[in-house]
């Protein structure tokens, strides 16, 4: 009976994968109805992106997976529908899965949000509390490694199909290559391959756990090097000054990447907090200083971003940059507090990570919702700069507003009829010129 039940679940996962691929193939076709209803298209694609994966990873949990599946899918559906409603031009829906640059970071941040919420749903479904850090830590790493293993399997599976079909093409049988390259086959085949890879990974839990342990063991030995780079950088800043540093247009990005790596390596060394990281005693004592450069780096990244905003105003990239920099500051300060405690090495880090991850999930939801819509924030600040004269009407980027969806279109319409602002004639002329273009520039 148990094997029959298991076989039925495997069959169900394969059917779900085939349906997922079939609907994705349908979505990528040039369908006029979908192009005129982008809110439906983006919402549906969001559900397809997260739904099957949530089902595969929640299925081994014994608790109420239906509740958490419905919650995750409802969240993806509502956020996708809202984001799609901001699209005002058919050209913004591109062929490959509706991944248009003007959807900015929607799908990426949706996946990040999913990776935060899924371990919480699995933990609750297993009957454990969210205040327990160890299960959350292991489930988060298990999910990431399972998905990476499945992705690697899918890539090799697809490469094998392409090689085989090309060989048949050489000997005079073109139909296998025609079938493989057709969307109606490729999408279901890829999704079925991915589902099979997840199944294989779940049937070998010991292998994934061993890979996790091996990866953490490697990553924790990169922490001393990262700490050395950070400390030397911070100590040399008083001698070099920050003038040259802040002239670069990518200073904030570099410092945020360094912060991200150091936070990752600190967590790899801490693991679930149940044991010491295994460094020599002298190195463990030195690594207590690892979080100390983090507040300086995070403050400099915020300052660098603020200078760019003061000079050019907000953009969607800078809104997300401020969000990431703000969380880097929160992590930096919290980790410094952890090393100041008299407990074991970073003894409070687990509880800090739970709180910060929960707040990060709330922040992402706010930015992906109407409450803190980045497009509207950018439009408001850019128009404020134009109205108060900080930006000359001849240098204002009217075309950039076309990449901001419905808020940008509304702003252009207001500018095309504006009367009470500096250089009103020039503003109306340039805004009307952009509005008259049949296909607004990307």
Q: Is the pLDDT of residue 418 over 90?
A: no
User: Which one is predicted more confidently, 73 or 88?
Assistant: 73
Range with the poorest average pLDDT among 99-113, 142-156, 284-298: 99-113
What long-range pairs does 192-196 form, CB within 8 A, spacing at least 24?
Answer: 192/14, 192/17, 192/18, 192/21, 193/153, 193/154, 193/157, 193/158, 194/17, 194/150, 194/151, 194/153, 194/154, 195/13, 195/14, 195/16, 195/17, 195/52, 195/56, 196/14, 196/17, 196/153
Q: Is the pLDDT of residue 392 over 70?
A: yes
- Distance separating alpha carbons of residues 59 and 17, to the nearest angstrom: 14
Give the model confidence (pLDDT) of 156-212 as tens digits. Answer: 999 999 999 999 988 888 888 889 888 889 999 999 999 999 988 888 878 888 999
Average pLDDT over residues 257-279: 88
The DSSP call for residue 276 is: -
Question: Of 253, 256, 248, 246, nearest to 303 (Cα)?
Answer: 246
- Distance separating alpha carbons of residues 158 and 177, to the nearest angstrom: 12
The DSSP call for residue 201 is: H
Supply 66's token pair: 């239906």
Average pLDDT over residues 381-408: 85
- Quick one: what percent of the chain has pLDDT higher than 90? 33
- What pLDDT was estimated at residue 97? 39
Q: Is the pLDDT of residue 5 over 50?
A: no
- Distance separating alpha carbons of residues 367 and 378, to the nearest angstrom: 12
Give the model confidence (pLDDT) of 200-246 as tens digits. Answer: 888 887 888 899 999 999 999 999 999 999 999 888 888 877 776 66
Under a CB-based contact definition with an 8 Å cutoff, are residues 197 and 32 in contact? no
Give the model confidence (pLDDT) of 275-308 as tens digits. Answer: 788 888 888 888 877 888 899 999 988 988 888 8
């Amino acid at each position: 009976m148990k094997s029959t039940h298991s076989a039925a679940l495997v069959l169900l996962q394969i059917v779900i994968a085939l349906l997922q691929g079939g609907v994705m193939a349908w979505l990528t076709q040039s369908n006029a109805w979908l192009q005129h209803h982008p809110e439906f298209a983006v919402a549906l694609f969001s559900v397809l992106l997260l739904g099957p994966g949530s089902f595969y990873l929640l299925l081994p949990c014994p608790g109420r997976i239906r509740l958490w599946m419905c919650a995750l899918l409802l969240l993806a559906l509502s956020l996708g529908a809202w984001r799609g409603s901001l699209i005002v031009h058919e050209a913004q829906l591109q062929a490959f899965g509706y991944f248009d640059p003007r959807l900015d970071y929607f799908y990426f941040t949706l996946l990040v949000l999913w990776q935060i919420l899924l371990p919480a749903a699995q933990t609750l479904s297993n009957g454990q509390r969210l205040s327990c850090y160890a299960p959350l830590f292991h489930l988060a790493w298990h999910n990431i490694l399972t998905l990476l293993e499945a992705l690697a399997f899918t890539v090799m599976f697809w490469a094998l199909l392409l090689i085989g079909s090309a060989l048949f093409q050489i000997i005079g049988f073109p139909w296998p290559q025609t079938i493989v390259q057709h969307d109606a086959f490729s999408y279901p085949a890829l999704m079925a391959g991915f589902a099979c890879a997840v199944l294989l990974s779940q049937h070998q839990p010991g292998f994934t756990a061993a890979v996790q342990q091996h990866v953490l063991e490697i990553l924790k030995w990169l922490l001393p090097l990262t700490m050395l780079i950070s400390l030397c950088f911070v100590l040399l800043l008083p001698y070099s000054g920050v003038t040259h540093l802040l002239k670069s247009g990518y200073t904030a990005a570099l410092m945020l990447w360094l912060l991200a790596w150091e936070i990752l390596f600190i967590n790899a060394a801490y693991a679930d907090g149940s044991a010491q990281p295994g460094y020599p005693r002298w190195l463990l004592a030195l690594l207590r200083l690892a979080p100390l450069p983090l507040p300086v780096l995070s403050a400099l990244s915020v300052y660098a971003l603020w200078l760019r905003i003061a000079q050019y105003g907000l953009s969607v990239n800078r809104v997300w940059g401020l969000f990431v920099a703000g969380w880097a500051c929160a992590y930096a300060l919290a980790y410094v507090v952890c090393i100041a405690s008299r407990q074991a090495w970073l003894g409070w880090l687990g509880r800090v990570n739970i709180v910060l991850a929960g707040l990060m999930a709330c922040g992402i939801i706010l930015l992906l919702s109407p409450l803190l819509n980045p497009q509207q924030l950018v439009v408001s600040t850019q128009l404020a700069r134009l109205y108060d004269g900080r930006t000359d009407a001849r240098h204002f980027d009217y075309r950039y507003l076309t990449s901001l969806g419905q808020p940008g279109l509304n702003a252009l319409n207001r500018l095309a009829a504006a009367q009470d602002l500096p250089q009103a004639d020039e503003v109306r002329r340039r805004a009307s010129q952009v509005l008259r273009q049949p296909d607004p520039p990307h």
